[in-house]
Every structure is written in structure tokens, then in C-alpha cells.
Amino acid sequence: MSDILVHTEAGVCSITFNRLDKKNSITAAMYGAMADALQAAQDDAAVRVVVFQGHETIFSAGNDIADFLNQPPAGEGAPVFRFLRGLAAFPKPVLAAVCGPAVGIGTTLLFHCDLVYAGDNAAFSMPFVNLGLCPEAASSLLVPQMMGYHRAAEALLLGEPFMAEAALEVGLVNKVLPPTEARSYAHTVAAKLAAKPLSSLIETKRLMKKGQAAQVQAVMAEEGASFGRMLREPAAREAFGAFMERRKPDFSQI
Ligand code: COA
């Protein structure tokens, strides 16, 4: 079965991470599939809302580390950047149901969703510094904006995880539910949105986002260039090597 499941029903397109044995970590092929799914959902008048979802125990462990090492994203056309640009500019409402760990892009993609519902087991983290990298998905802009600078520094410089209740407090999450209910709740809300006039949804979202749409794309491009460069540098090599070898990274010489 595919690592990304795409299913449309009653105006709602669900994009599901389906790679549980690797904690729903995301390969270049999966980014490509999600970028294509978003483009198709944008073009298909029958799709009115998109929902991202994972499993009750894990949303996503972020980038697949081995895949990233083997085929680092090359240039702006790389599937990961195609996906992020498409998500940031997606005109229709996007929801997410998040349970368990949401690591790296598992958290940063949520800053581009319109509504986020979390299981009380959700744990959000953006450990880019711990991996010798820098923020992506315009998170260097959007995280301080949403959380305030000092909480953003805790999340982005220390890379420390925060739980669903903290995410609710800063406004990253709309509601916290038992993990067994997060997905169905998100779909109830998606159905409500799907019954509304699509043109009004699109125009309302456009008006809310237009103030910084260009800035988001520009920051994303700048972060992407740094991220791509840093992936090849010693700190990331050490961090990723340590993960694969199940040891603590040693940055003392870097
Ligand atoms: N890339 C590639 N493989 C990953 C992965 C990732 N980001 N995250 C987990 N996996 C794999 C593990 O290598 C392991 O594979 P194996 O069974 O073949 O050995 C399997 O998924 C299970 O992972 P494990 O770490 O044993 O699960 P856990 O429940 O103890 O922990 C996480 C779950 C998500 C907390 C932990 O896996 C983790 O921290 N992953 C790395 C997250 C990360 O740094 N992402 C990069 C962000 S840019």
C-alpha cells in the first residue's frame, strides 16, 4: 500500500501518512505524492477542503533521515519544496488531525493549516538545530509570530518538544481531544466547511493570508537554500549519522 493515501469523499480530500513502520517519516517520493495531491485538490472543483492526518500514535517523524542523506533536495524543484510552496499557497481550507509526535515538518506544516485538532498525546517539535540544520517551511517567520519570540526560541533554538495543551495555549491548535476522537472531529469540521460556499471560503482565506503571502514564499526560499546547504555540512552529517547508529551526536569539533 502507498505511503501517502489520498481519498476524496463528499468534498473532503484526506491526505494520510501511511508509513507506520518508519513512524510516518517522509521521503522525497512522499513529498512528491503530496505535492501532486494538493495540485489535484486545487484543480478539482469537487474538492472543497483538505485534511492531513496520520495515525493515533504518530503524526509524522518528519523528514526520512536516510532518504535525506541519500538524495538531499536539489534546488527549488525538489519535491519537498514543491510540496511546501503548494501548501503555503493552497487556496481552499486545510485542516490537520495530529496525534502523537509531530517532528520537524510534521509540526511546521501545521503553521500553513487553517484549523488543527490534536490528540492529547500530540508532541510537537522542531529539532532543526539539534540536527545541524535551520528552520524550514517559513517557520523562522511564523513560529515567532504565533508563539512570541522567547517561546519560539525555546522551540527552535533548544528544539524542545511541547505538548498539545501548550500548543492550544499559543494558538497552534484549535482543540485538544482524546487521540481516538481527533480525526473524526476534524472530519466533522471539514464536512461543515464543505457545505459552505467555496468561493467565500477561498476569498476569506485569501484576504486573511494576503498580507504576508509573498513574504512567506520568500522566507521559505531563503530557508530552503540554507537548509539544502547545511544538509551537506559536517553538523548535519554527524547528527544524521548518530541517529542511524543510535548514538548521541558529538558536535564538540564542529
Ligand atoms: N527518518 C527515518 N527513519 C525514521 C525516522 C526518520 N525521521 N524516525 C523514525 N524512523 C524509523 C527508525 O529508524 C526505526 O526504524 P527501524 O525499526 O527500522 O529501526 C523506526 O522508524 C521506529 O523508530 P523509533 O525511533 O524506534 O520509534 P520511537 O517510537 O522510539 O520514537 C520518534 C519515535 C518519532 C520520537 C523517533 O523515531 C524520532 O525522534 N525520530 C527522528 C525524528 C527526527 O529527527 N526527524 C527529522 C526532522 S528534520
Does any ligand 1 atom lie closer than 6 A to the CB of residue 25? yes
Rounded to an integer, the average pLDDT of 16-34 is 98
- The cell numbers describing 179, all together, are 487521540
The DSSP annotation for 71-122 comes to S---STTSHHHHHHHHHHT--S-EEEEE-SEEETHHHHGGGG-SEEEEETT-
CA distance 217 to 227: 15
Percentage of the chain lying above the pLDDT 70 cut: 100
For the segment 36-42, the average pLDDT, to the nearest whole number, is: 98
Average pLDDT score over residue span 26-54:
98
The type of residue at 57 is T
Measured in angstroms, how far is the CA atom of residue 214 from the centroid of ligand 1?
34
Average pLDDT over residues 123-144: 98
Residue 74 has pLDDT above 90, yes or no: no
Please give the span between the terminal C-alpha atoms of the chain, in angstroms, as a whole number.
41
Whole-structure pTM value:
0.98
Instruction: State whether the beta carbon of 101 lies less than 6 angstroms from ligand 1.
Output: yes
What are the CA-CA distances from residue 202 to residues 42, 71, 77, 92, 172 (Å)?
Answer: 11, 36, 26, 5, 21
Task: Indicate if the pLDDT at residue 136 is higher than 90.
Answer: yes
For 181-215, what is each residue's pLDDT tens digit? 999 999 999 999 999 999 999 999 999 999 999 99
Domains and CATH numbers, the chain: 4-177 (3.90.226.10)
Residues 6+ apart with CB under 8 A from 56: 99, 100, 119, 179, 180, 182, 183
CA 104 to ligand 1 centroid distance, Å? 12
CA of 217 to the centre of ligand 1 (A): 29
The yes-or-no verdict on residue 1 having pLDDT over 90 is no
The one-letter amino acid at 231: L
* Segment (H or E) for 182: helix 179-194
- Is there an atom of ligand 1 within 6 Å of 131 CB? yes
